Amino acid sequence: METKDRILKTALKLFVEKGFAEVSINDLIKEVGITKGGFYHHFKSKDELIYEMMESFTFPLLENIIGSIDECNGSVKEKLSCLFRKYSEVQSYLKTTFDIEDINDTSIMVLIIEGVKRYETINNYMIDFIERLTKKIESLLEAGKKLGEISSKINSKSGALYTLSSLEGAIILWGLNPNIEIKKLFEDNFKYLWNSIKASD
């Protein structure tokens, strides 16, 4: 299991830095320091490796994002701020957890998109993730309206989708333009979002 875990972590590092297509099994076994037989002992193919990598590292990260709303104590504003902050930590998470310094930002999006295209289970998970996060945000906005923090004029469902668009859109924009400072992008998006949904003073 230690070798398998090392293969998965190394694969994530290489895929993020170079992309799926640019990394061969030979590249991977050389980086890990194992034989080709050692690789096939744990994975039948590169596709199986990709699926298990997504399941081991991407899914827990996304679950952590959803959980950040409940884990954050405080007002509705503070909970939403925690959610935006969690999204902004993708880059630092990869750097610190997997020692990935040379991050090809676009590759992060490609990993998820390729996973969705290749595997029905990953596609279903991503659909479920988006639906659960949308409902979570919708419930938060409803609570905010009752507490007088969110404008009563806001449609909670539409507001949740708008919030999610601000989050996912920022990830895509960051992926397409590596010159964008991700932390500031999410901070600015949150400020604009909050000003558009908060109750009048």
Choice between 51 and 77, residue whose per-residue pLDDT is larger: 77
Return the H-helix or E-strand segment holding 123. helix 120-147
Arithmetic mean of pLDDT over the chain? 86
What percentage of the chain carries pLDDT values higher than 70?
Answer: 90
Cβ burial of 157 (10 Å; 0-12, 13-18, 19+) is middle
* Rounded alpha-carbon distances, angstroms, from residue 140 to 69, 78, 98, 134, 150: 9, 11, 33, 10, 10
Tokens of 29: 């076994």
pLDDT for 99 equals: 62
Top mean-pLDDT range of 44-58, 98-112, 146-160: 146-160
CATH of domain 46-197: 1.10.357.10
pLDDT for 98 equals: 61
Instruction: Report the distance separating Cα 97 and Cα 100, nearest Å.
Output: 8
Q: Write the pLDDT tens digit of every residue in 94-108.
A: 666 666 665 555 666
pTM value? Answer: 0.81
DSSP 119: -
Q: Where are the domains of the chain?
A: 46-197
Q: Write the pLDDT tens digit of every residue in 107-116.
A: 666 677 777 7
Instruction: Report the distance separating Cα 156 and Cα 135, nearest Å.
Output: 9
